[in-house]
Structure 1
Amino acid sequence: MNTETMKRVHRLQTIIHLFESQVKRRWRTREIAERLGINEDTANKYLNELQLTGLLPLTKEGLYWFLPEGAVIPRLQLSLSYPEAVGLYLAGRLLAQTRDERNWHLTMALHKLVEALPAPVREQQETIAALLLTEDRDREDVSAIFLALACGWVQHRRLRLVYEPPRKSRFETLFDPYLLEPSAIGRTIYVLGYSHTVQALRTLKLERIRHAELTSETFVPNPSFKAEELLQRAWGVMYGDEEPVRVRLHFSSQVVKRVRETRWHPSQEIRLTRDGCEWTALIGDLVEIEPWVRGWGADCVVLEPEELRLRVISHVQRACQNYGLQPAPLSTHEPGRLNADLFRRPARPEEAEMKERKE
């Protein structure tokens, strides 16, 4: 965890401790700033964030911040068995590995998780914290955007977003966040919800959101939105708007064991063949599964749908061109039979001339 993030987490915890230790006291922003050794603007920002995120149920009257009578400060109190504690630790590790950007809210959550672990596990706190909380100063900080998304989702608050798709111009839209979903495939977090610009459900990628702010409007999620049904047919998070597509792949005998080790999709079926196995699943969108298919290289052949098959063929042809190889012409796939011409280097002019002379 970099120095700035450590300072931020420490300051927030200090503010929480001040209000915990003196529940009935009223604090001026200036007093908080003096305690932390920061300016009043920064202290005010921290207090507002603690109030907005629910970490401190603060109220402000005039110049004073205080906890209303009967207010309860949220605490993470867990009673965990060793397997449960290790399970949460592994979940935290996975979360840390899938973050491609800085996000102090997740850092704070992981820090609290480490503190809540049973004593035998917590004794390794320094090692665990170092693994969980490692951050790169050069990565983009999406903390403010994540704050808006998280609060909008939990509180059913409408958001105003600026979004920049990969191959289109950025645009602004009002957005109702229905669900936040992590993706190990894309190493990111997606938000699923209703876009008022297109008046339809959309899936947005966290890194492509350039700005996000909470509005004063609330929303009621569409009762027809069934997250479990959408994600059941999704590959990762991309579920598509059309009917699920049947994807059928042939894997060579070299990778059958690896393919069978993992449940890649809830609908998958695997049938062993003479020279490998045939993998079938119903997928809602082909966008995310294509890189996965390509990652198997020559050990995976797309049998259907034709759209995915042609995409992979096009990718292989471009790769051949990049390496100066001559791809074989399109032909009917025969699993188990190697086409020797697929990666054959094209003949040089002098070689072709010598061949003609011999003939």
Structure 2
Amino acid sequence: MNKTDRLLAIVLELQRNEVLRAEDLAAIFETSVRTIYRDIQALSEAGVSVIGAPGQGYSLMEGYFLPPVSFTVEEAVTLLIGTDFIEQWFDTHYSSKSRTSRKKIEAILPEPIRSEATRIRKSFRLLATAEDKTRIQEKTYLEVIRRTILEERKISFHYSKRIAEANGNRQSVRTVAPYGLVLHQGSWVLIAWCELRQDIRHFRLSRMTELIELEDRFMLPADFHLDVYQPPDDRNVRVRIWVQPDIADKVRESNNFYIDTIEEQAEGLLVNLRVRQPEELLHWVLGWGAGVVVLEPESFRHRVRNELEKTLKRY
């Protein structure tokens, strides 16, 4: 980054933050503190109202605002593709805002930049799943849950688990304190404190029904931060499968969440997976037909064999 770009970037950082130390700016721009001192001096001489407080850092004088900056073609394309993504994956409210944002961005771009950005965007395409009933309901729930997270209000819903519990039940009613939303592998997932389980749980919006907003309030724990949250890894059961060479690429590209390691062998792939319970892999394994063989555990081999025998009887 040359000096001119860095000076502009420093002003933008000061606009976003109330106070920044020289050490902070040096870390951001990967330069020395002495260089930052010289940059601040150059900004002051250029008329930028930078205030320095000994022992605290630098800030911009209240009311100072940098005029609109120009975008490069790459920056414009990045912003426009971002609006496409939000329109496809977010709820109705943000979908409409993304469209108006796109129009405003395009309106302020100089004609050469706008034309080149349009040309480049035509070489990209974001594919979303079909707008079926389930997807429409998921977007509706997304808007409701997003609102309750901001208002710190609880919600309740009926939830359908993919795998039945020990008592055979797959359906349950949950009351939760919603902490945040995560888009994971094309599906929206709610991170929430579940009153039934008395712990943090994850819920796919696509498996929810009868969502209700409650008046009960909750307080987000001070030590919970969605951007650094990592769920405990309780996948303690190991499954090993052998994959036939002619479908090896397809299995590799499936990006199954439970895959731990893949070992290339002359006669195919040896895939190691970690799960909470082997049944989580049952339909995935069956979907590959004879191209996949379960090596261990033996109990899961029997489970797959029994399921295939049931299927054979139907035919």
TM-score, normalising length from structure 2?
0.54
2:198 aligned with 1:210, yes or no? no
Give the Cα–Cα distance (whole angstroms) in 1 for the partners of residues 82 and 311 of structure 2.
37
Map of 2:196 onto structure 1:
197
Contact 2:258 2:275 (C-alpha < 8 Å) held by counterparts: no
Contact 1:103 1:141 (C-alpha < 8 Å) held by counterparts: no
Contact 1:253 1:276 (C-alpha < 8 Å) held by counterparts: yes
Map of 2:52 onto structure 1:
none
Match runs of 1:261-300 below 5 Å = 264-265=256-257, 268-284=260-276, 286=278, 288-300=280-292
What amino acid maps onto 1:162 in structure 2? F
2:312 aligned with 1:316, yes or no? no
Change (3 A) 1:229 1:84: farther
Q: 1:104 aligns with which of 88, 92, 95?
A: 92
- Give the Å deviation of 1:152: 3.2
Contact 1:107 1:133 (C-alpha < 8 Å) held by counterparts: no
What amino acid maps onto 1:302 in structure 2? V
2:156 aligned with 1:161, yes or no? yes
- SS in structure 2 opposite 1:148? helix
Contact 1:156 1:220 (C-alpha < 8 Å) held by counterparts: no
Q: 1:248 aligns with which of 217, 240, 244?
A: 240
- Give the Å deviation of 1:243: 4.7
Give the Cα–Cα distance (whole angstroms) in 2 for the partners of residues 210 and 264 of structure 1.
30
Residues 123-172 of structure 1: per-residue CA shift (max 9 Å, x gap): 7999999977984579754555322311333x37131212143655553x
Contact 2:92 2:143 (C-alpha < 8 Å) held by counterparts: no
Aligned length: 231
- Give the Å deviation of 1:210: 1.2
- Give the Å deviation of 1:278: 0.3
Gaps spanning 5+ residues in structure 1: where? 1-76, 234-241, 324-359
Match runs of 1:57-136 below 5 Å = 82=74, 85=77, 89=81, 96=88, 103-105=91-93, 107-108=95-96, 111=99, 114-115=102-103, 116=105, 119=114, 120-122=116-118, 135=131
2:142 aligned with 1:146, yes or no? yes
Residues 249-282 of structure 1: per-residue CA shift (max 9 Å, x gap): 1101112234445654586322223421101133
Change (3 A) 1:135 1:178: same
Give the Cα–Cα distance (whole angstroms) in 2 for the partners of residues 317 and 78 of structure 1.
66
Change (3 A) 1:136 1:223: same
Contact 1:162 1:211 (C-alpha < 8 Å) held by counterparts: yes
Contact 2:77 2:121 (C-alpha < 8 Å) held by counterparts: no
Map of 1:20 onto structure 2:
none
- Give the Å deviation of 1:182: 3.0
Choose 263-272 or 142-151, whichever is displaced more: 263-272
Give the Cα–Cα distance (whole angstroms) in 1 for the partners of residues 312 and 129 of structure 2.
41
- Give the Å deviation of 1:91: 9.8
- SS in structure 1 opposite 2:153? strand
Over the residues paired in the alignment, what is the CA RMSD in angstroms? 4.7
Choose 272-281 or 129-138, whichever is displaced more: 129-138
Contact 2:87 2:95 (C-alpha < 8 Å) held by counterparts: no
- SS in structure 1 opposite 2:220? coil
- SS in structure 2 opposite 1:229? coil
Choose 86-95 or 288-297, whichever is displaced more: 86-95
Give the Cα–Cα distance (whole angstroms) in 1 for the partners of residues 183 and 268 of structure 2.
32
- SS in structure 1 opposite 2:249? helix
Give the Cα–Cα distance (whole angstroms) in 2 for the partners of residues 94 and 269 of structure 1.
33
Contact 2:263 2:271 (C-alpha < 8 Å) held by counterparts: yes
Contact 2:176 2:192 (C-alpha < 8 Å) held by counterparts: yes
- SS in structure 1 opposite 2:283? helix
What amino acid maps onto 2:92 in structure 1? W
- Give the Å deviation of 1:316: 1.8
Change (3 A) 1:159 1:123: farther
Give the Cα–Cα distance (whole angstroms) in 1 for the partners of residues 93 and 120 of structure 2.
23
Residues 173-224 of structure 1: per-residue CA shift (max 9 Å, x gap): 431223323344xx64221211113322322231323123153523223848
Percent identical: 18
- Give the Å deviation of 1:105: 3.5
Match runs of 1:8-87 below 5 Å = 82=74, 85=77
Contact 1:145 1:212 (C-alpha < 8 Å) held by counterparts: no
Give the Cα–Cα distance (whole angstroms) in 2 for the partners of residues 248 and 200 of structure 1.
31
Contact 2:73 2:117 (C-alpha < 8 Å) held by counterparts: no
Gaps spanning 5+ residues in structure 2: where? 1-68, 107-112, 162-168
Give the Cα–Cα distance (whole angstroms) in 2 for the partners of residues 249 and 255 of structure 1.
13
